[in-house]
Homo-oligomer: A and B are copies of this chain.
Amino acid sequence: MEKQTITIYDVAREANVSMATVSRVVNGNPNVKPATRKKVLEVIDRLDYRPNAVARGLASKKTTTVGVIIPDVSNIYFSSLARGIDDVATMYKYNIILANSDGNDEKEVNVLNNLLAKQVDGIIFMGHHITDSIRAEFSRSKTPVVLAGSIDPDKQVGSVNIDYHAASKEATAVLAENGHDKIAFISGALVDPINGQNRLTGYKKALKEAKITFTEGLVFETPYEYKAGEKLAERIINSGATAAYIVDDELAVGIMNGLQDKGVKVPEEFEIITSNNTVLTDMARPRLTSISQPLYDMGAVSMRLLTKLMNKEDVEEKTIVLPHNIVKRGSTK
């Protein structure tokens, strides 16, 4: 015999009240006489009743779950953001449906539609760039969206970031002040606005202020992978660079190890500044100087912003820029 699922109706019957009343006590509605509440609670406990969130979702049109689109959870940059997101979600009684997109444009759209079909109350999107098709989907639905660590030039949806332009300008300036005039800029795809626009222009600005001529040959574009960094070392040496600003920690560790494996001394002969201040910066030897991007906080703030949006509260500004700074460690002098 199948174990009978017990419903709000069973509780109502056993407690000699209506379903409405049971619903009220389950939802903490104050309009219930304490005595009735007590009676209902007892029955709930006795019957071991568990509200069915799906039914509730259908009736109330709220699922208390939000969709999180992430390029890759196993990447520490994104998983740090995700952790901040989930902690705040939990705090506000939301669950998150996590979906990996591999940063693949088509997959992102599929995943988004899937999430929307599941009636999520909101979406947090992480990715390297916002394609036109995904932006179209965003505006097609009325579900609130927040970008975490991702730039939307159009500012149509909420977003939480640091000032990437300023941060990379500062990082580059540190290197320039240390006397370098051949500073490499090493990033992922330059078509991603965060790299090709915000960061690269920050880098150029710093060069200009230090009266250093920009050289195309010092700009490197590569996958965000440790191995890619190791391999890139040789080309960097050949470029004549004596310092580098790198946009990703895993990449930076790869480059530094690659450099050192080839006998280049860091920081004596080559200085490095990386961008994400993840735990990797502490694990490397020498430890990596880094821009500190408050990843966990960025995730947390994104989710907090989303709760406001879902609640239809007024938000003064839905493009949030968090503070950053530079943490000096052993990879710079």
Contact = CB atoms under 8 A, between A and B. Distances in A.
Interface string A55-74: 10110000101001000111
A280 B284 CA distance: 10
B282 A226 contact: yes
Contacts of A329: none
A263 to B, nearest CB: 13
Each complex incorporates copies of this chain amounting to: 2
Interface in A237-280: 250, 253-254, 257, 260, 279-280
Contact of A117 (B50, B80, B119, B285): B50
Contacts of A72: 83
Given A50-B117, A283-B253, A79 B87 contact: no
A100 B83 contact: yes
Contact of A226 (B79, B250, B279): B279
Contacts of A57: 54
Contacts of A282: 226-227
A296 B73 CA distance: 12
Contacts of A87: 100
A156 interface: no
Contacts of A280: 283
B65 A86 contact: no
Contacts of A83: 72-74, 100
B53 A55 contact: no
A125 B119 CA distance: 25
